[in-house]
Structures are given as C-alpha cells and as structure tokens.
C-alpha cells in the first residue's frame, strides 16, 4: 500500500498519532510519506490519514483535492465545532487509535529534526480538573490513569517530552516518576504539573529527575491555598531558581485584572517565574496583552514594575493608561 499523511497543525511540532500510524503501516510493509500539495495531482494513494489536533482558532485544514481509496480524518480538531461563538467538543467524532497502533513504538523518522535525540509520549491519560477551557477530561476521562511504561516510546534518547495532562493526579505517579528518574534523560513536562498534588515525597522524587525547567499552573483563585502549599513545598526541597521554575497563569477566562495582578505577585513572592497565558487572545482586552508582553519578556519583567511599564510610543505608563 501507498499511505499518505497530512499534518494539519503544520510540522512545527511532531504529530504523535501520525508517527504511530506510520510505524504500524511500515511494520506491515507499506510505503508511508507526507503529502505535499502537488502530490495530490500526481499520485494515487491507497489510504490517507489526516490529523488535526487543534481547533480552527489555531489551524485550518486545506483540501489539496486529494483522492484515495480511503481517507481517514482523525484528531480532536475535527471533533470541535463553533456554536453560538463557543467551541463545542463532540466525543463521538474523536475515536481513539486502535490498541495495536496506540501502543506501538513511534516512527520518529517522520520528523527527523524535531525528534532528534527526543522521545515523545504519554504515561497517563485523563485529568480530574475538568476545566472549561480544556477538553482533556471530556476526551480522556476525569481520572488520571497510567496507560504506558516509559519504554513504550523511549529507547535511550537524551530528552523526553512528556505530554501528560496531569501525571501527579495518577495513583501510579511514584512508579512513573521513578521511571523518568532512572532514564537519566532530560524531561520536559510540556503540559505542566498540578501543584496541588505536590507533597514532600513527590517533591523529592521530582528532584531526582533531570528537568531543564519545571512548569506548574495557577489558573483559578479557588485553588489558591492548595497551589501555594504545593509550590512552597517544591521550592523548599528543590531550591530551584525562578528562571527554571515557571508557573502558567491563565487570564481572560474567569479572573479580573486585579486578580491577575494578585496572582502574578504571589507567584513572584514564592520564588517562581510567572508565564501569562491569554484565553482567546483575539478577544482579550489590551491591558492583558500588555501584561503578557511585559511579563513574558524576561528583560522587561526584571527591569521595571508592570505599573511603570511603557508599552507604546506615546510615553504613557500602564498606570496612566488603565489605573489612573
């Protein structure tokens, strides 16, 4: 068979589903390749897989007038529709990969530059948080459960990009953290860690893992005390510097600008570096865009207070623009 692949989300980050699909087909003796626009005019494919992870706000599918005996559309992006201005996730349109493909070792050769010396995968699936801005709980369930051992997608690479939504909420977390530590690879918890689950035991386990930067999150005021407790524990045990300890901070969702500034100050006082994220940036007020510009530019963040920041050429400070 000649199998074609289309990565709708571009090639800036590897598509794990496509890497697994490719590995499965190649194991059966099939030829697999990415489809370029002109390929659709000159080749006939036996089967085409089109993968789209993100909604239309981030990526759009361009139909190359492709033809094949069979075309398979997959990924969360195809299961999201916009209804009354809001994105709605349709679980029935987002089937999982068959077990024989889901648990195969990925074909890293699809993205040779992006995956050089780096392994990508999930140890757990699901998340207990069920946040309104995230579909993980709706897609994978509200219980974080172990789905694989590290050896399923790692074979000695120097780096590991872990894609889990909430590893620390899994009951098998200590076993999985030990696997990561024993690998001696440099681990990136790409989706961040849930500070509310950090205990002294977990903090010690995390310090045994090679981590370039660690990411937590402070998204909701209702979780303030539990988050602060976990962040304090990890900071005390790890002694990590703020430049290597990041806390994501969601804005434009259910907090006011006053609460945003308060959370930022809390994160700073606890010895972490805030990282401002904006929910639906195109509709966000300018003050939040200015906050993100100032905070996430580390030179600006360290050089002045946000209220004294001058975001534009008119010479007015943030205080004069929004708070006078």
Neighbours of 10 (CB within 10 A): 10
* Residues paired with 80 in a beta bridge: 89
What would the pLDDT profile of 87-112 be if each residue is shown by its tens digit? 788 888 888 899 999 999 999 999 99
Torsion angle of the four alpha carbons 218, 115, 206, 155, in this order, in degrees rounded to the nearest 10: 150
Largest CA distance in the chain: 69
Q: Which residues of 144-180 are buried (b: 16+ CB within 10 A; e: fewer)?
A: bebbbebebbbeebebbbbbbbbbbbbeebeebbebb
Q: pLDDT at residue 18 above 60?
A: yes
In percent, the amount of the chain with pLDDT more than 90 equals 76
Mean per-residue pLDDT of the chain? 92
Please give the structure tokens belonging to residue 144. Answer: 């974080």
- Count of all residues that appear for the chain in the document: 324
Please give the structure tokens belonging to residue 49. Answer: 């897989």
**Closest of 99, 54, 94, 91 to residue 72, by C-alpha:** 94
**CB neighbour list of residue 194: distance below 8 Å, 6 or more residues apart:** 129, 166, 168, 169, 216, 217, 230
Q: Are 124 and 145 in contact (CB under 8 A)?
A: yes
Q: Are 293 and 311 in contact (CB under 8 A)?
A: yes
Cα 225 to the center of its chain, rounded Å:
25
Neighbours of 34 (CB within 10 A): 14
**pLDDT (0 to 100) of residue 285:** 97
Q: pLDDT-derived band of residue 115, with 50, 70 and 90 as boundaries?
A: very high
Q: What is the pTM of this model?
A: 0.90
* CA-to-CA dists, residue 85 to 247, 268, 277, 278, 322, angstroms: 29, 35, 21, 17, 28
Q: Number of C-alpha atoms within 13 angstroms, CB side, residue 323?
A: 11
User: Which stretch of DSSP H or E encloses residue 190?
Assistant: none
Please give the structure tokens belonging to residue 250. Answer: 């969601």
Q: pLDDT at residue 57 above 60?
A: no
What would the pLDDT profile of 249-270 be if each residue is shown by its tens digit? 999 999 999 999 999 999 999 9
Handedness of CA 253, 57, 111, 127 (dihedral sign): positive
Instruction: Kindly state the average pLDDT of the residues 67-79.
Output: 89
């Amino acid at each position: 068979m000649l199998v074609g692949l289309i990565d709708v989300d571009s090639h800036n980050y590897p598509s794990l589903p496509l890497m697994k699909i490719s590995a499965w087909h190649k194991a059966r003796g099939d030829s697999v390749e990415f489809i370029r626009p002109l390929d659709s005019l000159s080749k006939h494919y036996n089967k085409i897989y089109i993968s789209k992870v993100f909604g239309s706000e981030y990526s759009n599918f361009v139909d190359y007038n492709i033809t094949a005996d069979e075309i398979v559309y997959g990924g969360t992006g195809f299961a999201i529709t916009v209804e009354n201005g809001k994105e709605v996730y349709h679980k029935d349109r987002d089937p999982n990969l068959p077990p024989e493909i889901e648990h195969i070792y990925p074909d890293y050769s699809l993205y040779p530059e992006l995956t050089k010396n780096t392994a990508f995968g999930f140890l757990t699936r699901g998340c207990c948080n069920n946040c309104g801005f995230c579909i993980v709980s709706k897609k994978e369930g509200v219980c974080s459960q172990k789905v694989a051992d590290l050896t399923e997608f790692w074979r000695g690479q120097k780096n590991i990009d872990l894609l889990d939504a909430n590893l620390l909420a899994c009951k098998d977390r200590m076993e999985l953290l030990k696997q990561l530590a024993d690998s001696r690879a440099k681990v990136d918890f790409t989706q961040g860690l849930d500070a509310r689950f950090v205990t002294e035991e977990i903090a010690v386990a995390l310090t045994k893992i090679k981590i370039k930067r660690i990411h937590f999150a402070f998204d909701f005021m209702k979780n303030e005390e539990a988050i602060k407790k976990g962040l304090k524990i990890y900071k005390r045990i790890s002694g990590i510097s703020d430049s290597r300890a990041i806390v994501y901070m969601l804005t434009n969702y259910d907090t006011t600008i006053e609460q945003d500034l308060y959370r930022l100050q809390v994160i700073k006082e606890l010895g972490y570096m805030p990282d401002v994220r904006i929910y639906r940036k195109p509709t966000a007020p300018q003050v939040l865009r200015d906050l993100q510009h100032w905070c996430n530019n580390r030179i600006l963040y360290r050089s002045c207070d946000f209220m004294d920041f001058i975001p534009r050429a008119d010479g007015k400070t943030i205080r004069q623009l929004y708070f006078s």
